[in-house]
Amino acid sequence: MKIGDLHRPVSAAFTHSRLAAVESVCERMSAGGEDPLVLVTVFIDALRPRSSRELAEAADLWRSMLQLLERNGNYREALSRTLLALFATREQRRLYTEAGMLPNTGFFTELRRKLVHKVLPEVPDERDLKDCVHLIFTRWSDQEWVDTIPVADRTAFWKIIGRFGPGDDASRMLIREQLDDSARIMAIRIAAMGLEPELIRINPYLSAGESPFVALAEEVSRIIGLHRSAQTAGDVAEDDRRHLEVLIGQCRDAVRRAHQVAATRGTSIPLTFLLVRLTQHLDRLDLLKELLAVRSGSNRAELIEKWSEFLRDALDGERQKNSIRKHFSSLLVLLSLRVTENASRTGEHYITRDRAEWLAMWRSAAGGGFLIAFMALLKIVGAPLTQGVFIQGVFNSLIYGGGFAVIYLLHFTVATKQPAMTAATIAATVSQVHGRLRHSEQLVRLIIDTVRTQLAAIGGNVLVAMPLAVAVGTAAGFWHRGHLFSAGKAASLLAEIDPLRSAALFYAAIAGVWLFLAGLVTGYVDNLVAYSDAGNRIARLLWLVRLAGRKRAERIGKFVYRNAGGVAGNIFFGCALGMTTPVGKSLGLPVDIRHIAFSSANLGYALTVLNWQVDFPTIVRCVLGVGLIGLVNLAVSFTLALWVALRSRDVEPHHAVRLLRPLWRNLLEHPARFFYPAKERAS
């Protein structure tokens, strides 16, 4: 694509005044004699929008600047010399080895540093290129402005100015030496991280003299030593570059293997932090390797793209290096990655791929609906027996938490428990390369399987809970010649699920948030049990072995390992549902919860108590309310869980939106797949 093809008409007055300022800076660069840092700062200031309203015009001004450089060779060469002088006269090592990278300090140590620098900002060193970033890009809005410039335009800029003249050899030698040092520093840090005890614990072979991290550091030092001894700034030989690629690939395999082991044996925040930093360092060394190896040829365009993206990420990292919000966001990503690794493993059991699994889900959900019908009845008839809002909340928590735990231990299913788990499984399948999703067909099939399974679980819960509630209510009326509760209570139950007479959908959203948090609790406890090896440690308790025998102690340990997370998540969910209303009332907040399975059972009980003497529009609204409550329950919990799972894998959530089009096409072409599985098992 030519630069002229990128041009769009913009405000003539805006372009003329701002482009004149750019030309003035280029004239000063041509004259020479000024500090390149000052010239580059003024150049960026001429292109920078004055407010957010000028973002679109500033992006077009960038294109006009590219056209100006294409037309005027003097300006192009002057800008190239200025940028080259800026790099050659500044210390570059910290820019390459630290910019945009996670620090090696702990969370609270880094938080304390950020707080101190918020109060007493550090003085930037003009001799350090990393600090020069703050002197050139002085506004918080600069990152937003840079992001509005298309990637093609940012890359085109470096293609234009990357034509150094014959008099630049000395500067290029200085830059090359600092690139060599940066690569050596990165390789040494990678070797040190590769020998951390946390990593060796899950990859023991790394301590047996076969560590690819150590081999990588030795190879980088060997190659740089050869160039230094030869006193040349020649490029890395092709054979050496390929060998480095192989070693970097082996290091990535070791990191990938560590993630896989951590998904089953559990992980910790230090280990997760270490693996993230290790991946960042490998990516940076890969870039430095390309900068050292590729100077011309077919790979030059790809190198310029990598260089442009590196500078953009470095700018982002430097602008937010003292950001408290970014610091806590990084912690959230680490925590969610720790949790969702185990949640995705659990979520695989909630996705059916063939008819046998689909029918098994119906049976499991039917069992859950059976117990929920009696849990709802116990909650209704037990309410008058409790005095005080708090005592009633505790009573409801026992019903919810105990019932959900029993449902889980009997291998039954509560439909709304699925989204928090299946979202993590979907996110685990998502991979991103430069903003593009791979394996989209596999993801679409997975989502279709998930939707079909979710509908089966909802059907099993509702189609058993509601008819059973009707049957129990009718039988109680015949047996006791009276109803289980008053007509006033029945009318209240109908009003609670009527979306036009209550805030049922808002309360359903609150339940969706609790569902999401319950999924995190499940993943967290599963991870904690796996990481601490709690099952085997319980099996080795001397008092338990003496009391129950070794075999029974081992069975107890395995039971805890398999079920601790699920039981903890269900108990948390039950307590959250039970205590929402009491806590809300004590704080003066109008909050409550609505759950689809309980709402369907309540509808059945209310209709029998009222002897079905309810007008048809009310019944329609209540049935519709039950459906909408379920939709909100699932939508809120699934959206929150998917967002956390995607962010934990460093995938921007908007990339997943691209799957909507193929999903809609599948729904139009093969709607039955969303409701009924194919005969053959998916590969």
* Phi, psi (deg, nearest 5) at residue 128: -105, 125
Q: Which residue has the higher pLDDT, 322 or 346?
A: 322
Which residues does 540 contact at the CB level (< 8 Å), separation at least 6? 553
Confidence of residue 572 (pLDDT cuts 50, 70, 90): very high
User: Alpha helices, DSSP H only, in 48-106?
Assistant: 55-71, 73-88, 93-98
Q: Is the predicted pLDDT of residue 6 greater than 50, yes or no?
A: no
User: In this predicted structure, what is the pLDDT of residue 468?
Assistant: 95
Q: Reply yes or no on whether the pLDDT at 623 is more than 80.
A: yes
Q: Is residue 489 part of a domain?
A: yes
In a domain, 115, yes or no: no
pLDDT tens-digit series, residues 193-213: 998 888 888 888 777 667 899
If you average pLDDT over each of 289-298, 313-322, 415-424, which comes out highest? 313-322
What pLDDT, in 10s, does the model give residues 160-195? Answer: 876 554 456 677 778 888 888 999 999 999 999 998
* Cβ contact 650:432 at 8 Å: yes
Q: Report which DSSP code applies to 91.
A: B
For residue 351, the enclosing domain spans: 339-673
Residue 299: phi and psi, rounded to 5, are -85, 0
Rg of the chain's alpha carbons, rounded to an integer? 31
Residues 27, 44: Cα–Cα separation, whole Å: 15
pLDDT tier at 311, thresholds 50, 70, 90: confident
Q: d(Cα 143, Cα 52) in Å, to the nearest integer? A: 12
- One-letter amino acid at 491 equals A
Whose tokens are 């620090």? That residue is 103
Residue 681, pLDDT above cutoff 50:
no
Measured distance between the N- and C-terminal CA atoms of the chain, rounded to whole angstroms: 41
Whether pLDDT at 436 is above 60: no
Closest CA to 379 of 570, 582, 598, 569: 598
Residues whose CB is less than 8 angstroms from the CB of residue 632 and which lie 6 or more positions away in sequence, other chains included: 505, 508, 509, 512
Residue 89 within any structural domain of the chain = no
51 found inside a domain: no
In a domain, 33, yes or no: no
Residue range 476-493, pLDDT digits in tens: 877 766 778 888 999 999
Question: What number is the average pLDDT over the span 275-300?
Answer: 76
548 in any annotated domain: yes
The chain-wide mean pLDDT, for the chain, equals 81
Contacts of 585 (CB under 8 A, 6+ apart): 389
Within a domain: residue 662?
yes
Question: Dihedral of CA 557/562/564/570: which sign?
Answer: negative
The number of CA neighbours under 13 Å toward the Cβ of 503 is 9
SS3 500: coil
Cα–Cα distance, 75 to 165 (Å, whole number): 13
108 or 617, higher pLDDT: 617
Which three-class secondary structure state does DSSP give residue 432?
strand
Find the helix packing angle between 418-429 and 616-648, rounded to 10°. Answer: 40
Domain count, the chain: 1
pLDDT digits (tens, 9 = 90+) for 631-660: 998 888 878 877 776 666 666 656 666 667
Burial of 188 (0-12, 13-18, 19+ CB in 10 A): middle
Angle ∠(73,78,82) on CA atoms, nearest 5: 150
* CA pair distance 86, 83, nearest whole angstrom: 5
Q: How confident is the model at residue 356 (pLDDT cuts 50, 70, 90)?
A: confident
Identify the pLDDT of residue 281: 93
d(CA 286, CA 77): 29
422 assigned to some structural domain:
yes
Provide CB contacts within 8 A for 587, sequence distance 6+.
none
Please report the pLDDT score of residue 172 as a whole number: 73
